[in-house]
Amino acid sequence: MQKPKRLLIVSNRLPYQLQEEDGNFKFSMSSGGLVSALKSYMENSAGSFSEMHWYGNADFNEKEWTEAKKQLPEESAGVKPVFIPKNLKEKHYSGFSNSTLWPHFHYFPTFTKYDHDDYKAYHKVNELFAKAIAENYEEGDVIWVHDYQLLLLPQMLRRRLPDATIGFFIHIPFPSFEIFRMLPREWRENLLEGMLGSDLVGFHTNDYVLHFQKSVRMILGYESKRRIIQTENRAIRSDLFPISIDFNLFNKSFDKPQVKKLKRKIANINPEGKIIFSVDRLDYTKGLQNRLRGYERFLQENPDWYGKVTFNLVVVPSRDVIKKYGESKRKLEELVGRINGTFGQMDWQPIVYQYRSLDFDELCAAYTGCDVALITPVRDGMNLVSKEFVASRKDLRGVLVLSEMAGSAAELGEAVLINPTDLDEISMGIKRALTMPIMMQSRNLEIMQERIRTYDVNMWAHDFMTQLNQVKTLQANKKIREVGPIIRKEMTDAYEKAEKRMLFLDYDGTLMPFQREPYMARPNERVLNLLEKLTSDPKNIVTVISGRDKTTLNEWLGHLPINLVTEHGAARRLRGEDWKQTEKIFNKEWRQEIYHQMNLHVHRCAKSFIEEKTFALAWHYRNADKDLGFLRSRELIDSLYRVINNNMPLQVIDGNKVIEVRMTGVDKGSAAREIFEMERGDFILAIGDDRTDEDMFKALNDVGYTIKVGTESSDAKYNFANITEVLPFFEKISG
C-alpha cells in the first residue's frame, strides 16, 4: 500500500504562537483565512494527507522552541520554525519583500527600493527555507509555498528535490510586464525562474496569470500554451485560483449573541442615521486617503446628510517600521482631523476613527452593524474584507462599495464598483449605496453570497491541490525517455518484422545540422546515401517533412523516390506524383502586414532576415547577437499577436531561432497523418527536433514510434540526446 502523503505548507510567518507561563508552554494558532482553509482541507481531504507540517519564521527563539518541543511533543510535531538571523530577517522582510516587491507589484514603482544588499538577504533567507525543508523532506511529500516573500524558494527546492511536487501561490497582484521589467535584470530573471521551480503557480485573477505569462515569455523566452508554460525541460501550469473565505464562519457569526451585543453598541455611534464601515491594514495600497477624500467630497456635496451618516473607520497597525507606512499614518490622521474639524458638530462626528485591530467578534459586529462597507484599495491582490462583509450579511441588508482595482471586483460585480482615484465616483458611490432600495440590496447580496458560498476557501484549496496533482500527471507523460538499448532493440525487431514501414523524417536539425544560412544546409553525401539506402528497400516509404520551401527541397531531394512535404504540409509531392499545394491562400494583405512587422525587426536586429515561402513568412535570428535576437524575437511575437486577429487564419510559430507565421490547419501533424492514412503501414517512425514537429508526434503517437531530437520535454515518446544519434540509428536499423 502507498504511504499517505504529507502536506508541507510554507509561508513567511508561522501561524503558531508560543506562550509561556511559569515555564509551561502553550501553542496557539492564528485564525487567518489560509490557516482555516488548510485545516478544513485536511479534514475534508479524506485521508489524502497523513500530516500537515507548516514552515515559517517564528516569533519565538530557538531556546524556547527546544523547551516547548520537549514539553509538547505531539502538538509541536507539525510546527517547523525556520530561524533567521535578525539582520537578514529585517532586510528580507522590511527590505526586499515590503520595500521592493510589495510596492512594485502593487504599481507603486516610485516607492520601490533598489537595494542589492536587501536582495542578497532575500536570496539567503529563501535558501534557509529551502535547506530546512529539504532536510526533512520525504519522498511523496507535497510542498505548497505561499507568497511574495518566497518567490525564489520553488526553484531552490527544485534543485535539491528534482522530483518533488511543489505548488506556489502568490497572494498579491502580479504586475504587467511593463512594470515588472523595471526591476534589475538579475532580479527579474531570478524571480521568474524561482517561481517556475514549482509545478503549479497560482494567482488570484486571470489578468495576473496573463501578466506573469507575458513576463515569462518576454524575459525568459518560455511560451505558454493555454495554461501550460514550457521551459527547456519541464511543463508548468499557471492558473487562477481566486482565494475565498470560510463562508459559513462569517455567515453564522450573524447569530452569535456576542456579535449581536457588540452590534448594538456600534449602532449607538449614530442611532438614527446610517453607518459606513471600513477595516484595513494601514497600507498605502488600501487607498485610505482617497477614501477619506471621497467621503469629504460626499459631505461637501450633500449637506442634507450631515448628522445622518457616520464613518466607522478602523485601521489596523502594520509594518510601522517602514518609513512609507509611518508617513501614511500621519497623513491619514491629518485627514481625519480635518474632516471632523470641518464638518463635525456638537452632537455629530463624521468619522469615528480607531487605530487598532479588532477581535473576530468585533469584526463581525462591524460588518453586520453597518449600512455600507466602503472598500477602496488602489490595488489589492484579492481583498478578503469585501468577501467577508458580503458573507456576514445573513440579513441580506447592506451595500458594498468596492474598488474596481481589487481582485475581488472580478467576482463581486453586483457591488457598487468605483474607481478609487476618482473622488467624484467615490462620493457618488457612497450616495448610491446610502440610498439603495432594500430589495436591490438583498438581490445583490444574494447573488454575491451564492458565488462565495460555492467557491469558498475549502474549494479554493481543493481546486489548487487537484490541479497540482493533474500537472504531475501531465509532466509524467511529457517526461523525456531516452532511446536506450531495450527500446532500440524493440524498434529494430519491429522494423525487421514489418511489411510496410513508414518513416517520417524532419530535415533541419534532424538529418542535417543547422547552418548559418538556410541555403547552406544542402544534404551531404552521408545523408543522401542513407536516404538512397532506405528507399532502395521496397518495404520502406520515406517522407521528408519540413518547414522549408518546395523549390529548395525539390532541388536537393527531388531526384529520390521519396515523399516530400514542404512548408509544414502546405505543398507535397508523393513518390512518382506531381507537386500539389494546399488550397488555403495566404492573403496578400495579411502577408504585407506580417512582412512589415518582420521587416521592422530586421532593421532592429542586425543579421536577422526574412525567408519568404509560398504559405508562410519566417523571420530568422540565428545569426544575430544572442541576447538582442532573443529580445527582438519576443517583441516580434508580441506585435504579431497584436496584428493577427480572429479573422486571419494564421498562426505564429516560435521555432528554433525562427519566428514563422503560417496558415492554421497547415501543420506537420495533419500532413503526416494524411499520408499515414493513405498507406497504413505496420511500422511507423517519426523523428524531428523542432516545436513544429510536436504536431507530427501528436498525430502519430497512437500508431508508431516518435522521437524528439534533443532533451527538451516533448510529446514524442522517446528522445535522442542530440542530432549525432540520428544517422547512426538509421544506418544501423536499415542493416
Smallest separation (angstroms) from ligand GDG to the CB of 246: 10
Kindly state the smallest distance separating residue 34's Cβ from ligand GDG, in Å.
7
Query: What's the rounded Cα separation, in Å, for the pair 478 and 474?
Result: 6
Q: Which stretch in 125-133, 152-160, 380-388, 706-714 sits in contact with ligand GDG by CB under 6 A?
A: 380-388
Binding mask 91-130 for ligand GDG (x = CB under 6 A): ----------------------------------------
Taking CB under 6 A as the binding criterion, the range among 130-138, 379-387, 554-562, 575-583 that sits at the site for ligand GDG is: 379-387
Q: Which is nearer to ligand GDG, 406 or 511 (CB)?
A: 406
For residue 279, state whether it binds ligand GDG (rule: CB under 6 A): yes
Asked if residue 172 binds ligand GDG (CB under 6 A), the reply is: yes
CB 448 within 8 A of CB 408: no
Grid coordinates given for 383: 481583498
Residue 247 vs 697, nearer CB to ligand GDG:
247
**Kind and range of the H or E element at 602?**
helix 588-604
From the list 191, 236, 363, 372, which residue makes contact with ligand GDG (rule: CB under 6 A)?
A: 363
The yes or no reply on residue 35 touching ligand GDG (CB under 6 A) is: no
Minimum Å gap between C-beta 388 and ligand GDG is 5
388: contact with ligand GDG by CB under 6 A:
yes
Site for ligand GDG contains 393 (CB under 6 A): no
Residue with cell 474598488: 403
Query: What CA–CA distance (Å, rounded) separates 13 from 59?
Result: 8
- Residue from 279, 282, 288 nearest 421 by CA: 288
The DSSP line for 88-137 is HHHIIIIIIIIIIIHHHHTT-GGG----HHHHHHHHHHHHHHHHHHHHH-
Q: How far is the CB of 398 from ligand GDG (least distance, A)?
A: 16
Calpha distance 628→624 (Å, rounded): 7
Give the C-alpha separation, 91 to 117, whole Å: 8
Compute how many residues bind ligand GDG; rule: CB under 6 A: 19
Query: Does 396 interact with ligand GDG (rule: CB under 6 A)?
Result: no
Cβ atoms of 550 and 614 closer than 8 Å: yes
The distance from CA 431 to its chain's CA centroid, rounded to whole angstroms, is 38
Least spacing, CB of residue 658 vs ligand GDG, in Å: 41
Handedness of CA 316, 318, 320, 324 (dihedral sign): negative
Q: What CA–CA distance (Å, rounded) separates 318 from 533? A: 76
Q: Does 235 bind ligand GDG (CB under 6 A)?
A: no
Q: Give whichever of 56 and 681 is closer to ligand GDG, judged by the CB atom.
A: 56
Stretch that binds ligand GDG, among 288-296, 353-361, 420-428, 528-536 (CB under 6 A): 353-361
- Beta-carbon contacts of 646 under 8 Å, excluding residues fewer than 6 positions away, are none
* 33 belongs to the binding site for ligand GDG (CB under 6 A): yes
Select the residue interacting with ligand GDG from 381, 518, 547, 669 (CB under 6 A): 381
Is residue 375 classed as helix, strand or coil in its secondary structure?
strand
Candidates 52-60, 110-118, 300-308, 358-366: pick the segment binding ligand GDG (CB under 6 A).
Answer: 358-366
Considering only 128, 385, 401, 686, the residue that binds ligand GDG (CB under 6 A) is 385
Options 199, 380, 506, 690, the catalytic residue = 506
Q: Does 171 bind ligand GDG (CB under 6 A)?
A: yes
CA distances from 436 to 276, 299, 389, 398, 416 (A): 14, 18, 17, 9, 10
Q: Does 243 bind ligand GDG (CB under 6 A)?
A: yes
Q: Count the alpha carbons within 13 Å of 413 in the hemisphere toward its beta carbon.
A: 3
Asked if 409 interacts with ligand GDG (CB under 6 A), we say no
* Residue from the set 118, 141, 193, 380 that interacts with ligand GDG by CB under 6 A: 380
CB of 451 to ligand GDG, least distance (A): 16
Under rule CB under 6 A, residue 357 binds ligand GDG: yes
The span of 6-14, 110-118, 374-382, 577-585 binding ligand GDG (CB under 6 A) equals 374-382
530 binds ligand GDG (CB under 6 A): no
Residue type, 630: F
Sole window of 49-57, 384-392, 446-454, 695-703 interacting with ligand GDG (rule: CB under 6 A): 384-392
Residues in the chain: 735
Which of the 8 DSSP states describes residue 345? B
506 annotated active-site: yes
Grid cell, residue 119, equals: 536582495
Count of C-beta atoms within a 10 Å radius of residue 596:
11
| Crossing angle for the helix pair 438-454 and 384-392, to the nearest 10 degrees | 120
Active site residues: 506
Chain positions contacting ligand GDG, by CB under 6 A: 33, 171-172, 243, 279, 281, 316, 357-360, 363, 380-385, 388
